[in-house]
Amino acid sequence: MNKFILGLLWFGVGQILIWYQTNGQFIWPWAKKHPIWMAIIFSFPISYGFILGTKYIVEHFGGTLWPGRFIGFSIGIVAFTLLTYGHMGEGITAKTAISLVLAITLVLVQILWK
């Protein structure tokens, strides 16, 4: 599998896990009562996911850090949107839709602009 795809996958894992870590308190009573355990349980896999995501994206882009920052941010926006809609039922407003388009545009600029 190429490094770019691996980087995207690892950033996706990190962003999904961080959504559950910070917003699990609104879904599960246990998470609301035990925030320290949520931090302990999720901290290692989130950090590891972001470290590997950064590694593979930086390698793919020849040692440049900026593309990974924009790509990680954009994946976070998309993951947040999907998970928030799926778990919390919060719809996509015009403002959110524009933000999603901008996030996707950031990724496309990093991928397509040589």
pLDDT in tens, 66-78: 999 989 988 998 8
* Least confident span in 2-11, 43-52, 64-73, 105-114: 105-114
Concatenate the DSSP letters of all residues of the chain into one string.
--HHHHHHHHHHHHHHHHHHHHHGGGT-HHHHH-HHHHHHHHHHHHHHHHHHHHHHHHHHTTT-SHHHHHHHHHHHHHHHHHHHHHHH-----HHHHHHHHHHHHHHHHHHH--
State yes or no: pLDDT of 97 exceeds 80.
yes
